[in-house]
Structure 1
Amino acid sequence: MRYLTAYLNVTLLTALSTVCWGAAIDDCMVQGKKQFAARNYLAAQDTFTRCMKLDARNVDARLSLAGVLLTQDDLSGADKQFRAALGQLGRTSPYLSYTYSMLGDIALKRQQYKEALALYEQSLTYNAANVNSLVGKGVITEYLGDKLGASEAYRSALAVEPLNLVARKRLINLEPDYLTDDEILDALKQRYAIAPEKKELTDEDRKLFAQIHRAEQLKGVEYLKNKFGKIPAGYVVELYRNSAFSREVLTLAGYKALQKQIGQDAIAAFQKAGVPMQEVFDLRDMKGARIFNKDSTLTDSGFHAYSEVLQHHKAFLLPREAVPPTQAYLEKANRRAQELESAGYMEISRSELKMIENQTKCSLDTLRSKMGLYVLPITKKYQRYFILTRSNDEKKAIPYYYIMVAQAKRNPRVKVPSNGVVEMYQMYDYAVCAADGNMWE
């Protein structure tokens, strides 16, 4: 009986100790979370550190500490704690997606884009509806030049969280790149820019939409409000009125008024920067293109020069200043570009090139040596890029294949050419190139 009594006493003390210990860690976590919610981050960090000392195996405490370190931009500390948490989490833990997503944020902050993308994708394998990972994936994919892929990520994020402002803002910014022809037609009709009965989108229509959209993203509506106080009727329309997605956009009349007003303001700004009035309309950008159109509105590059002069930066050339490189060289480059187009090449943008690099995983050297990419140097920092649109060598037709796939996503009427090389690798879920940027042999 004496031994039984001793055993019961020990058991009771152990149980009481466990209860007290459990209450202590619970109270510690509650305190830390209150401090974090109040944005008292240093106190929260100290508290979660104390919680970890009470129970080093408490995943909630470790993740909370990692989160507060990340909030304070202690990337190394946060990275260490999140990775330690991975070692404690089981294969079915609901925290896996969150942890990989936060590691993706850390890699993104460090500008380690490929690593960040891999971490976000790992997060999405555990939870395909992780909004933070979807937005992060979109941001990196957009940076890599795949704007269609980025738009798909942002739309997936909004399907889960319709009021996510980051995803919605970035998606709106990409509209000219992912909207279908029919959607662009509707957008132009909403802006009273084309006839309501129009059925087919032309290249000029697409260009007009891109111009109006760009003016909107550069806060054109706010610009008019500042100039007029009350914007004249017919200059702006409100989309999705009385909803959480309400948005003001420019009509064609508003866009033209904006261009005229900016042109007038730019004239005054260039004069203030010391440009004589008689030389204002002969100004050129740093590549030699004219800053003003014939109707006294700014060109796209002229708008950049105007923006720079407002910041007291000179990004324009006076009539007497030489263009680097020379105009003769630019003309020679233009002739070479025409020769390439006659030989079956098509010019692509730097953004489209990045998309091809991202999709194929191929290096620039591999694209040039084996896949028909032609790089035409203009200056040390500026090149033009061309790809073959017709070739008997399927390897050289790979870049064109990806460009047409991208176009077909905007316009289903675009015909995507078959390519046996790409299709073979896609069958095995491989990219065209290996991790070193070279084609698989």
Structure 2
Amino acid sequence: MTLFRPTGLATASVKARPSAFVGTFAALVFSGTVTTACVAMAVSASRVPVSPKQAALYDVGIAFSNLTVYMAIFVIGQVMSLAVAQRGRESALLRAIGAEPRQIRRMVATEALWTSALALPVCYGLGVLLAHVWFDGMAAHGMVPDGMTMSVGLIPLFTTASVLVVCSQCGGKIAAWRASRTRPSAALADSTVPGSGRSGRIRAVASLVFLAGACALSVVAGASSAKDAASEIPIVLLAYLVAIGLGGPWIGRLATTAASPLLHRYGGVTGELAVSGARARSRRLAAAITPIAMMTAFAVAQSVTLSGAAEIDWMAIFGTLLYAGFTGVVAANTLVMLTLERLREFSLLRTVGAEKRQVTAVVVAESAITALAGLGAGTLAGLAVLLPLGQKVGTPVSGVPMWVWGAMLVGGTGIVSAAYCAPLARMLRVRPIEGVTRRSA
């Protein structure tokens, strides 16, 4: 098959934008690590005689595996779309010199395939290590059934490989289809300001459809028994997150509009630049808003669940840390990718007189807008699910202490700000005149 044969276009694309390749690779590794560990836990639990402990552990392993796959679909698809979108100018230049749309799509598919192949052994090794840490922690707390041992084997490997390949290919194909159908002249004009293109009507309609579906699922879950409602909460939350992912550009614009009066009043020129930059790059912000919202919504749901539990076991704590850490790292990875593509923009600001501290201040202000969009959307999604359903399943939102809400706000804002600013030290060491001619750091 031609897909398995490297192409010169794919190799040149990776060399032109190494940061996009590294970001995609990191997202695949994070997703595959958690997938391997969760599937390994479910497989190991299925190999011992049935008992209450075995049934509980197997159910948890399956639930965590399903949730991980759902998250991987979000994460890998968004990051692949962002990586392809960051190379919009390169794709346009290739089209302008005669490359056919199918060659652009093949380039993306080849890159996605080989990135998945490189990520698989890394994430599998890390997943095995994580599974053993998880198992040892449960054993120390007496939660492991008699005769159970951690056995990873080939099933987690094949499952993880399937998730990585399928998700990366689907995410890449969707983004490549858009890139290959855009006229070269239009793509070159749009890429002057990354993410400045308009979002499609189909995306807007799809976001509203999923939002309506999430509301309908909430009503159905509210009419179900407490046990059924508890099992349906993750599905309802997933529907809201899909709506947020599709509606990311409009959520970003809404957050920018909400923050602009404060930034204009107290931020001066820095605030104006931050508002203009966030508004112009609203389509790019969708890739950052989704993982931040996912992290926040999951943290809200788990905080409510843990606050209403009569007894908090090690499994619940580990699961919360696992997914909060997973989504937090992915969100940080996405934000770093977004910052690295702006070397030319920052260099242009410096050539017209902006100092390094002013560039840093602009980035900090933009990170506040992104945090407002992601944390706000995630909190609203979590509350939209748990306000009508939490009381029914015995975990009311009112039971969450105020310090927990404060910790989520401070922690989420800190992750966003740190990820936004992390690449700045390296980028600001580049001479402005040199940075203007480069596409990314």
TM-score (norm. length: structure 2): 0.22
Larger radius of gyration: 1
More helix by share: 2
Of structures 1 and 2, the one with the larger relative CO (CA 8 A, separation 6+) is 2
Q: Please report the TM-score for the alignment, with normalisation by the length of structure 1.
A: 0.22
